[in-house]
Chains A and B, each alone.
Chain A
Amino acid sequence: MQLAWSLDGLIAALFAVFGLGMIVTRQMLGVLQLFILHSLALAASALVLAVALGSPHLGWVAFITLTTKVIAVPLVLRWAAGSEIYERREVDQVLTIPISVLVAAGLALIAWVVAGPLVNAIHDRPFAAINVPTGLMSLLFGAFTVSVRREGVAQLMGLLIMESGAFFASIVLIHDLSVIVEVAAAIDVPIAVLVIGLLIRNINRVTGMTRVGLLAELRERR
């Protein structure tokens, strides 16, 4: 149990670092790779919890995360966004990277402080102290990414980090939902990615770029 606790803490630390990495990385391809690692950390945490708590349901969560977020989502994104985005070295941002780093540090501290009372209130969930603050941190990082990046794909990635963060916190709170709910929730993610991916693909085709932050004027087609 002690070992599982430490392992989960280790994975949570990696989860937080990968989240931070997605905020500070300029290159789209780097962000995508970090997202894969981020999702792997999520799956690993679910696996550790599954073994430690003896809950096969969490094993399913790990498996589903692995298939959707680690394999399906990157494939869909690669297809939707095309090479033009991944070859570009810099993604447009509203804030400069050093300021983003500072904000990320602030968000992390906020997550720790806010999650404190919440964790104290939960008694029968042994891993809540690790997963809830980390998940919350990731949620905030995701929201921040969505608001700061000007690039459609990067914003989508921000949404996905938010989703992963919520997952990271929830796997420790609820261990015994039926698998069907889990599958339904998990399938939503690639579908959402597919829909937004199609949208991005269309924006790219019509305007020749995906920097949605710059698309301020209404352009009518007759």
Chain B
Amino acid sequence: MSPITTHLLINLVQVVFLLLFSPLLEGVLARLEEIIQGKRGPSVFQPYLDIYKLIGKDEVVSEESTWIFRFAPIINFTMPVFVVLLIPALTSYPLFFAFMGDMVAVGFLMALGGFFVSLAAMDTGNVYGPIGASRTRMVGFLSEPVFILVFFSVSYIANATIPYIVNATWAESWSSMLQPAHLLVVIAFFMLILADEGRIPVDSPSGKVEIAMIAHSKNLEYSGTSAALMKWAGAMKFMILMIVFLNVLVTPWGLATTARLSDVLIAIPAVLLKLFVFVVVLAVIESSLAKLRLFRISEYLATAFVICLFAMSVRLAGLG
């Protein structure tokens, strides 16, 4: 096989990895939380069944809606796939399309999907859609400074915003892994993931009360294939954030170092293991915290911001 075919094939493996395992992660998380709460919970494969069921169903589209409503699920679905073409999820070296973008580009692509979903939520006549969309924008605009500062700190510490260079910087030695600035950025980024994904201290993903929903009221209006795409896209987005968090910041090990296909395939269980461990941690955190009131979210994100600021000042003070 010529090197270029191998590279493209590795890219394809990453896409398949993302498509295949993202619903499983969501299923495992839901099941774990139910178990912690003393219930049995649905099967871990439930998200697959949901997606399969929804794809086979008829779709209802509001007469009031415009093209945006039908277009948004497709954009939302393709953006995570794009992201995984850009960044290495299973390898510790750049992939074929890596020259096209860094972590900032990843942030942009994710935001683009979110933007269209918010527009689509306001597009129909549904009352709850716009509420959810505007709240998501509120959380989004509060988390934006933190996001920028996280990237800023990471690029300041590692001298790059390109994921594989950053993770190589951490993985270099234990002492660079244990840098205080690194830890602080990890904490801030973790808080950001919880906010961005509508997880517990900010939003309750399993809540069924429309009035209290933030992120999850935006796809109330979707049905059939579009709903399946939205659900799948949500799972993929979550998985990508976790992959970036784990591969780049927390545990930069276990990735394929050579361009051989077999190595990349071996990296799959390693990355999955990391993801599952993280899901367990997440389930424990989600079960032990209470949801914040809407106007308390700013405090939560302000704390993340200040932690990021600590990271910067530690670095500025010359303490590695």
Spell out A's residues near B (CB within 8 Å): 2-3, 5-7, 9-10, 12-14, 16-17, 20-21, 24, 97-98, 101-102, 104-105, 108-109, 112, 116, 129-130, 133
- 18 cross-chain CB contacts under 8 A: A3-B178, A9-B180, A10-B183, A13-B180, A13-B183, A14-B183, A17-B187, A17-B310, A20-B306, A24-B303, A102-B306, A105-B309, A108-B309, A108-B313, A109-B313, A112-B314, A116-B317, A129-B318
* Chain A hits for B302, CB < 8 A: 24, 97-98, 101-102
B302: nearest chain-A partner, CB-CB: A101
- The answer to whether B180 and A10 touch across the interface, beta carbons within 8 angstroms, is yes
* Chain A hits for B176, CB < 8 A: 6
**Residue from A3, A13, A102, A133 having most chain B Cβ neighbours under 10 A:** A13
B314: nearest chain-A partner, CB-CB: A13
* Chain B hits for A116, CB < 8 A: 317
Spell out B's residues near A (CB within 8 Å): 174-181, 183-184, 187, 296, 298-299, 302-303, 305-307, 309-310, 313-314, 316-320
| Assembled-state Cα–Cα distance A6/B175 (Å) | 5
* Chain B hits for A9, CB < 8 A: 178-180, 314, 319-320
* Chain A hits for B305, CB < 8 A: 101
Which of A14, A17, A101, A133 contacts B299 (CB under 8 A)?
A: A101
| Assembled-state Cα–Cα distance A116/B318 (Å) | 10
Q: State the total of A-B contacts with C-beta under 8 angstroms.
A: 78
A4: nearest chain-B partner, CB-CB: B175
Given A98-B302, A101-B299, is A6 in contact with B317 using a C-beta cutoff of 8 Å? no
Given A20-B306, A108-B313, is A3 in contact with B299 using a C-beta cutoff of 8 Å? no
**Residue from A2, A6, A20 having most chain B Cβ neighbours under 10 A:** A6
- The answer to whether A10 and B310 touch across the interface, beta carbons within 8 angstroms, is no
Given A6-B320, A20-B306, is A12 in contact with B299 using a C-beta cutoff of 8 Å? no
- The answer to whether B303 and A20 touch across the interface, beta carbons within 8 angstroms, is yes
* Chain B hits for A21, CB < 8 A: 303
Tell me how far the C-beta of A48 lies from the nearest C-beta in chain B, rounded to whole angstroms: 11
Tell me how far the C-beta of B103 lies from the nearest C-beta in chain A, rounded to whole angstroms: 22
- The answer to whether A24 and B320 touch across the interface, beta carbons within 8 angstroms, is no
Tell me how far the C-beta of A173 lies from the nearest C-beta in chain B, rounded to whole angstroms: 17
- The answer to whether A3 and B180 touch across the interface, beta carbons within 8 angstroms, is no
* Chain A hits for B183, CB < 8 A: 10, 13-14
Q: Which 8 A-B pairs have the closest CB atoms?
A: A13-B180, A6-B178, A6-B175, A9-B180, A101-B302, A105-B306, A97-B299, A10-B178
**Residue from A14, A102, A105 having most chain B Cβ neighbours under 10 A:** A105
| Assembled-state Cα–Cα distance A118/B175 (Å) | 25
Tell me how far the C-beta of A123 lies from the nearest C-beta in chain B, rounded to whole angstroms: 15
- The answer to whether A12 and B180 touch across the interface, beta carbons within 8 angstroms, is yes
Tell me how far the C-beta of A70 lies from the nearest C-beta in chain B, rounded to whole angstroms: 20
